[in-house]
Structure 1
C-alpha cells in the first residue's frame, strides 16, 4: 500500500519531562526523497501539549490511532529476547505477547530485577536484532523504562484497541503501520557517527551536523529550521533518523505473511 505520511518518533519515557524530550518528525514520502514538514518536541507537536509521561503516552496513542494512512518509526524496543519471553509469557506469537505484557510487571524496575535475577539472564540478554545492530539489552538498566512504557503504553493500546499493523509480525490489519527503528544503527549503516553526537561539546555538535548532512545526501529534504534544530538537539536528530529509516523500509508492509516469532527486528 502507499503511505501518505511518514513519522519518526524519538521516544522519552521521562516521568515529568517526556513531552519535551520526545520528538516527532513528520514527512511526506516522495519517489526519490523524504520531504520533512516539521520536527518538534511532543509538547509542541500535539495539540494537547503533553508534558508528563502519562500525557505524552496518551497523545501518541490518540494521534496515531487516527493515522491509518501513515507509517511510523518508533525508537524503542518492540519486544523482549525470545528467552525472556519464553520464561515469563506463555505465548506463541508477538500479538499475544504485547497483549499480556502490561500485566506482567508493574514498573520498569520490577521488570529489570525480575530478569536480572533470573538464572542465565543477568539483565543483559539481547535479541538477535540487537546483536546485529549493537543495540542495548531491552530489559537492561539503560533503556528499561523506554522499553517498558513503549510496549505497555504505546504498542499495546495501538494494537489492541486500534488495529495497528506492526512489521514484521502482522501486516494485514487496517490501522496505522508501525516499525521499530534505532537511529544509532541507521547512522552506523550510513557510515556516519553512531556515537559521540549526543553531548554538549562543540565536537558533538560537529558530529550532529555531519549526521544531518549525511541524511540529506540520502534524500532527506529538511527545512532550514528543522536542519538547524537537528544540529543542536540530538533528540530532534534521532526523530529525523527514525523517519528516514521508516521511509527506507517503507516496503516492510508490502510482503504477505508474518513473522511467527516474538523478537521481530530493528529497521535501519
Structure 2
C-alpha cells in the first residue's frame, strides 16, 4: 500500500486558512502518488486557530509530515532562553515566554546582539546556512515560526505516536519534519524564486520537474499551476516522502534540520 505522506505550505497569518495548503500523497514502489490537494480554508475555515488545530489533528493520519516553517532556533538563543533544548523552546513559547510573534522576534534580536557583540541581530542555524533559508525570526517568517511551534509542534511533541525530527527519536507512527520548498526546487534545478504571483508558466516548469522525479500529480495540475501555495505543499510532500529511517542532519540536533 505504501506510506502516507502529507506536505504542508504553512501560514501564521490571522487568516491562515486562506494560504495554508496541504498535499496528501502515498509513497509507492513506483514513486509518489498525489491523492488530494486542498486549502485549510476549505477544510476548517480561514481562522488561524481553527486551521492550525485541524492541521495538528490531520497530521497524525500520516506516516510522515513535511511542514514549511522553522522548527527551532540557533543554539545561542536556545541556550539563553530554552535551557539549550528544543523542548525548552516549546515550553518557552507555550508558557511564560513571548506571547506574540513581534515580542518573540524582538527578544531574539536583542539576545543575538548581546551574543555577537557587533550589532548582528539575525542569527541563522547551520541548516539555514546550508539551505539558504532565512533566520527563523526574520520578519518574513516570525509568524510561521511562533505559531507553528506553539500551535502545531507543541501538540505533536506530546503525542506518543508522533516524533518531531530530529529532536525526538525512537519509533513513531508519524514522523514530522521541517521542509523548505525553495530548497526542494533548488535541489531539483528548478525555479527556486520567481515562480509565485503571476508566473504561472514558471510554476508549470516546476511541476514538470517534479513529475520527472516519479511523482504522479493526478488531476491536480490546475491547482498547482494556479496557486503557488498549493505548489509549495507539493514540494513539501516530495521532500517529506524522501525522509529515510535515520536521515543525516546539519548542525546540532536541537537546532533542527531542513529535509530536502
Distance 1:115 1:18 in 2: 24
**Secondary structure of the corresponding residue to residue 56 of structure 2:** helix
Which of the residues 235, 257, 260 maps onto 1:265?
A: 257
The superposition leaves residues 51-95 of structure 1 with CA deviations (integer Å, 9 ceiling, x where unpaired) of 110111111112224x2x52100000110111111121113x323
Does 2:80 align with 1:109?
no
Taking the TM superposition and a 5 Å limit, the aligned residue runs for 1:216-231 are 216-224=211-219, 226-231=220-225
- The structure 1 segments of at least 4 consecutive aligned residues displaced by more than 6 Å after TM superposition are none
Distance 1:105 1:190 in 2: 38
Q: CA deviation at 1:158?
A: 1.0
Distance 2:58 2:200 in 1: 32
Q: Structure 1 residues 207, 255: CA separation in 2 closer, same or farther (over 3 Å shift)?
A: closer
Q: Is the 8 A contact 1:71 1:177 kept in 2?
A: yes
Which of the residues 246, 251, 256 maps onto 2:240?
A: 246
Q: Is the 8 A contact 1:109 1:144 kept in 2?
A: yes
Q: Is the 8 A contact 1:36 1:221 kept in 2?
A: yes
Q: CA deviation at 1:255?
A: 6.7
Q: Is the 8 A contact 1:115 1:122 kept in 2?
A: no
Distance 1:264 1:148 in 2: 15
Q: Is the 8 A contact 2:52 2:151 kept in 1?
A: yes
Q: What TM-score does the superposition give when structure 2 sets the normalisation length?
A: 0.90
Q: Which runs of 5+ in 2 are unaligned?
A: none
Q: Is the 8 A contact 1:11 1:23 kept in 2?
A: yes
Distance 1:113 1:60 in 2: 28
Distance 2:47 2:86 in 1: 28
Distance 2:194 2:165 in 1: 30
The RMSD of aligned alpha carbons is 2.1
Taking the TM superposition and a 5 Å limit, the aligned residue runs for 1:157-196 are 157-196=155-194
Q: CA deviation at 1:3?
A: 5.9
Residue 28 (structure 1) aligns with: 26
Distance 1:175 1:235 in 2: 27
**Secondary structure of the corresponding residue to residue 36 of structure 1:** strand
Distance 1:199 1:231 in 2: 11
Q: Is the 8 A contact 1:123 1:140 kept in 2?
A: no
Distance 2:124 2:180 in 1: 14
Q: Is the 8 A contact 2:2 2:28 kept in 1?
A: no
The superposition leaves residues 141-179 of structure 1 with CA deviations (integer Å, 9 ceiling, x where unpaired) of 110000000011100111124542122222315342100
Q: CA deviation at 1:96?
A: 3.8
Aligned length in residues: 252
Residue 126 (structure 2) aligns with: 128
Q: Structure 1 residues 176, 123: CA separation in 2 closer, same or farther (over 3 Å shift)?
A: farther
